[in-house]
Structures are given as structure tokens and as C-alpha cells.
Amino acid sequence: MGNIVGTIINISDYLKPEKISICIDVDSNRKNIFNLEENRIYIIPDYQREIRWQKENLIELMMDLKSGHKFIGNIILSKSNDEYYIIDGQQRTTIMLMLITYIRYKFGSQLDISDTCKLINKSFKGLEKLFENNFDFTIVKKSEIIKTDYYNQLNQYIDLWECIEETNIIYDQDNAESLYKNIMKSEINIIINREDSLGTSIDYFLDTNLKGVKLDSEDIFKCYLFSKDTSNRIRESWKTLKKYSFILEKHAIKYTLMNVLYQYIACDLYKNGKFRNYKFKEDFTLSEFEEDSKYYKGEHLIKVINDKNYMQKSMNTINDYLKIICDIACNDDQTEMFKNNFSNIDDQERKVIFKLIKNIIKDPNLVPKVTLMKYIVESIVLGNKSKDECRRIYAVFFFTTFFNTFESKKERNTVYNLMKNDDWEGALINQIKKYFSNTNLTKANAALQYKYTLDNDDLDERYRCKALASLYNYFEIKNEKICVKDVSQLYKFLNDDNTYSIEHFIISNNRNGKIKVNGLPDNMYAIPRSFRKYKNSIFNFIFIDKDKNNELENYNVILKIQMLKEYNFQCEYSKMIFGIVKSFIDEKEDIRSLQYKLSENSLNLFFEDKFIRLYVEFINLVFEKIVERFNI
């Protein structure tokens, strides 16, 4: 720690480009402890977090500075020749320079505004040009700036710059001059690490930030990762990872970079016997480990692994995986890249596989996505892409659909443990069989489905329902494999929205919750608000041709049953749902009596007293039919 020195100085001394000698009083004598060199450059290293300041933070600071100079906090630097790497305080440094730049831009001809040190952001090199040109895109090409914006920070900087003007705090010459003087008089506690070492600098950064405002898991992961990198290969891989994560985010895919990294390491690290018994949390800190280990609970996983070759190899593989995932997420049909990866499968089956993978990607449930990762990495990225390898997707799709429909997120460890099997496809199939053979399956999962519907006002499970219907109609378990009985019919079911349009069956899809009921005033009834959410429950859907769908309009389900009595269902799943609902109407006294005492009051009582019981009973019967279908 002998190379750490520091004291309190003015922002003026910190940001002016002149050489500044920093002195302190020692035994009544002035002692120089360090110099800030002339024309120094401040650098935001690439392991730093992205800009996190919001407009509210900026406005609060400007209001504070309007009333007088302030103590701004700590600035920690690491010196290398005339370059000063900002270990802590990059956000405050950037904002101070932004305020000074704005005042110079607006009032520079009227006020004496000093030059300032140059600031370079290693993860956004175009920021320097933006400062030089006052964030004016008529002078600098936005496209050229975007090319250097590795972590999508541009819009945040633009918002902050525009906020300075929009708040109207700096509204005239006198106001600007007062604010500028208060900025330059404000103080910081400047601390310098004079040891020119990347690892030491990152350690100081982590020590400082982990003890203050918490870094998020991505910030910490990146720092530990970069501290092991001397060749810049890992840094370049990280930029690619971020690029893919932004693509997924743009397409509203809930699959963050940290989710991807966690899932990959969770199902790959066990291959190394040294780490087989290590367990870690989603923030990548150890939760369980061998008793004789030199590590402790809470230690970061990257420090434990301590192997940059493993991390480089892992990141290369993850990037290959994400390249495939993003290609599927961004396109409605197979691309040349997809065709090349699945070249051993005929075109129609390849199109089916494309749709199945896309369905898994778009589902918001993160846990079962690890099975998709395992499939693509083992069968496509690292595998031989044979027909059998490619068809492993059927087991993955079956499992993920079943998990998303019937399982609790609490079972995530079960999923990750399955991925540790050498025969992971066989492990998935065995787990599927175990689900079906569980005698408590229907009751437990009926309760789960009901609770899920109850707790989620915004859910829309029509696409999960189509996935479940795909299993029911076209999948089978044969010779210890998951197979598709008729690829051409499955393709048609997945793609033909005229023959298989989605009908909200039991509860109609009406914005106001109204259904047509003959005999009531205006022939309309408004379903009680708390029950309208059931319109998007997974078991509320059937698939029928568009003309018949339009004919059903928003009629109540009793009338729909009558209108569909002679209908020739092309979808076996829909036929099964129709049969169960029809049996309820024919056999349940609760519903039969309703037909003869039809009034707004009787319908209200039905929903309040009987609907939930009947709904859960209905779900139980659906589960039983699904179990029967696969004869396990």
C-alpha cells in the first residue's frame, strides 16, 4: 500500500491541463506527495461499469452546485506515464467535464472558461469526439460514433447532455458563471496508485466499489475476467458477447448476458474434476465447496477458476451459441447460416426445428433455456451436426414445454443437474417419464397452474398452449427417443394460421370482458374483472379455422359448444379440450342449471361461487388426458 497517496484538492486542479504539484503539510513543512502532469489524459478503462447516471442524478447535482461549491467525493487514479486511469469516480469526472463543456459551448465568448484535460473512454472511444464537438451530430457522423460504442452508452450520454439544457438551470451568463465557479471550487479527495499494474488497479477498483455503492454482477464479473487478460483476446470476446446481448434485448428476449454465462458455466464447469463439487449463486459467488478448499463462501467464481484459457474457450463457445440464437431470434424463417448448421436435415424438418428453437428462445422462462444451450453447444457448435444430433431438439422442446407448463421455478437445480449427464438427452427423457409417472401430477400441477393464472395479470400463454398442443398432436416417445410422428403436419400446425387460428374458448378475448349471452339486456354480460385474466390461461385456447373462429365471435362457451357440435377438428388437442368442456356442460348440475336460470345475477354468483372449483377440476382432466396420450 506504500504506493497509495492522496489528499483533498479543487476540481480546478484536477481538470485543468497544467502541471499541478500536490503538497501536504508534514511537521510544519510543505511536502510534495505527487504531481498531476501537464497535458495529462484521464482514461476510463474498459473494465469500468458503463455510464449509470440518470437525469435525476444530474439535476440534483446541478441544483446543489447552484447554491455553492461542494465536496464531490473520492477520485481514485492509477498513474502510467502521463495517463491517469480512473479507478473510481469516472461518472463524476465525466459529468463535471460535461457541465464545463456545455458552459463553454453556450457562454464561451462571454466567459473565461479554462481548457480541461482530455478524457478517453476505452469502451466508447467516440465519446472524445462528442466532447470536442459539443455532442453535435451535424458535425460528427452518428454512424461513426456508434461503431465505437461497444456497450450501447451513446443514448445515455445524449440524454444527459440534453438534460443540461432542458432543465434551464444554466439559463444566462451570470447563472452560468456562478455555476462554473462553484464547480471549479468544489473539492475532491484525490487518491493515486503509483504502481503501474493492471491487476492492482482492478483490485483497487473492486475493493473501492464493493465497499460502497454495489457494482452489479456484470460489473464484477467483467473486472475479474479482465484482470486475467493480458492479450486483449478476452476483451474482444466480451465486446462480442455484449453485442449479441443487445440484439436479444432489442427483440424483447428475456435472456441477459449474465443468464447466458451462468447457464453455460453451471453445465460445463463440472467437467473439470477440480470444480465438480463447487456450487455458486447467480451472482457467481460460491455457495458450497469442498471443506478442504482454500476458498471461502462468497468468493467470486472467476477467482476460484483462475484459468484464463478456460474462460477464453468458454467465451468463444458462448459467442458461437449466441450467434446461432440471435440469427433465429432476428428472422422469421431459416437463414443460410441456419441451413448450413442443420444441413443434414431435409428442408421441411429443418423449418420445423427452426420454429421449435424460436419458441424456446421467446418463452420468458429462463430455467429450461439451459437445455437449449446444451443442445446447440453439444450437437451443433461442438457436435457433428448429424441427423440424430439435430433431432435431439425434440427432447429439448418436449421437456421445455412441459417444464414451462407444469413445473415450478424451484426445480431449477433439477434441470441443471440433468445437464451434467453425459447422456443428457436420455436424462431429459427419463425426467419426462418421471413427470408422467408421478401419481400426484395432476393435483399438484392443477394447483400450480391455477396459482400461476391467479398471480399473473399480464400473462398471455397462447403460444405455450400451441407448444403443448404440438406435443399432444404430433410427438411420441418411441424406443427411448422423443420422435415426431408427422413432420409435414407439425409444420402445417406451426405455420398455418388460417387452418389453426387461436380461439379464446372458455373466456372470450374481449377488451371489456363482455360475452354474448342471449336473453340479457343487449345480449351482453360483463365477466367480473377478477376472472377476466383467465382468458389468457394456457387451457383457455383451442385451434380452429379462421372462418369458424370469426363465426364464434364473443359468444359464451355454452353457445360455442352448440356451434361446434358438427365441426371437424383438425387439431386433436382442441378436440380433447372441446370434449371435456362439452362433458361439463352436459353433466355438471352447476352449469346445466345456469342455462335455465340465466340472468346477470345468476352469472355473477356462478363466477364467485363455482367457477374456480370447476376450472381446477377441468385442468385435472386435461392433465389426465395428456398422460393417457403418451401412455407412460
**β-pairing, 475-478 with 481-484?**
antiparallel
In degrees, to the nearest 5, what angle opens at C-alpha 71 toward C-alphas 68 and 72? Answer: 110
1 has pLDDT over 50: no
Q: Mean pLDDT over residues 389-409, rounded?
A: 89
52 has pLDDT over 60: yes
What's the distance, Cα to Cα, between the start and end of the chain in Å? 67
**How confident is the model over 203-254, as pLDDT tens digits?**
655 555 544 445 688 888 988 888 877 778 998 999 999 999 999 998 888 8
Query: Residue 127's pLDDT is what?
Result: 94
In this structure, what C-alpha cell is assigned to residue 572? 386433436
Q: Mean pLDDT over residues 70-86, rounded?
A: 87
Structure confidence at residue 439 as a pLDDT band (50, 70, 90) = very low
Query: Residue 451's pLDDT is what?
Result: 54
In the beta sheet, which residues pair with residue 524? 516
Q: Mean pLDDT over residues 543-559, rounded?
A: 93
Query: Residue 442's pLDDT is what?
Result: 52
CA dist., res. 18 & res. 36, Å (int): 8
Query: Residue 264's pLDDT is what?
Result: 96
452 has pLDDT over 60: no
In this structure, what C-alpha cell is assigned to residue 70? 461542494
- Three-state secondary structure call for residue 320: helix
Neighbour-count burial for 244-253, b at 16+ CB within 10 Å, e otherwise: bbebbeeeeb
- DSSP secondary structure letter of residue 294: S
- Three-state secondary structure call for residue 578: helix
Query: Residue 434's pLDDT is what?
Result: 84
CA dist., res. 542 & res. 552, Å (int): 12
Close Cβ partners of 328 (under 8 Å, ≥ 6 residues apart): 338, 354, 357, 358, 361
Q: What is the enclosing helix (H) or strand (E) of 328?
A: helix 308-329
**How confident is the model over 261-288, as pLDDT tens digits?**
999 999 999 988 888 888 899 999 998 7
Structure confidence at residue 80 as a pLDDT band (50, 70, 90) = confident
CA dist., res. 180 & res. 222, Å (int): 36
CA dist., res. 494 & res. 356, Å (int): 9
CA dist., res. 444 & res. 487, Å (int): 33
User: Side chain identity at 469, as an amino acid letter?
Assistant: A
43 has pLDDT over 90: yes
In the beta sheet, which residues pair with residue 25? 30
C-alpha of 441 from chain center:
31
291 has pLDDT over 90: no
Grid cell 427423457 — which residue?
429
In this structure, what C-alpha cell is assigned to residue 273? 474434476
Higher pLDDT pick, 289 / 413: 413
Close Cβ partners of 136 (under 8 Å, ≥ 6 residues apart): none
Tally: H helices and E strands in the chain? 29, 16
User: Side chain identity at 281, as an amino acid letter?
Assistant: K
In 3D space, the residue among 90, 83, 96 whose CA is nearest the CA of residue 46 turns out to be: 90
Contact by Cβ (8 Å): 163, 55: yes
In the beta sheet, which residues pair with residue 501? 544
CB count within 10 Å of CB 528 equals 13
Query: Residue 198's pLDDT is what?
Result: 52
**β-pairing, 71-80 with 187-193?**
parallel
Taking the CA atoms of 506, 509, 512 and 514 in sequence, report the sign of the dihedral they define. Answer: negative
Q: Mean pLDDT over residues 597-602, rounded?
A: 78
Length of the chain measured in residues:
632
Query: Residue 209's pLDDT is what?
Result: 55
CA dist., res. 624 & res. 630, Å (int): 10
Structure confidence at residue 457 as a pLDDT band (50, 70, 90) = low
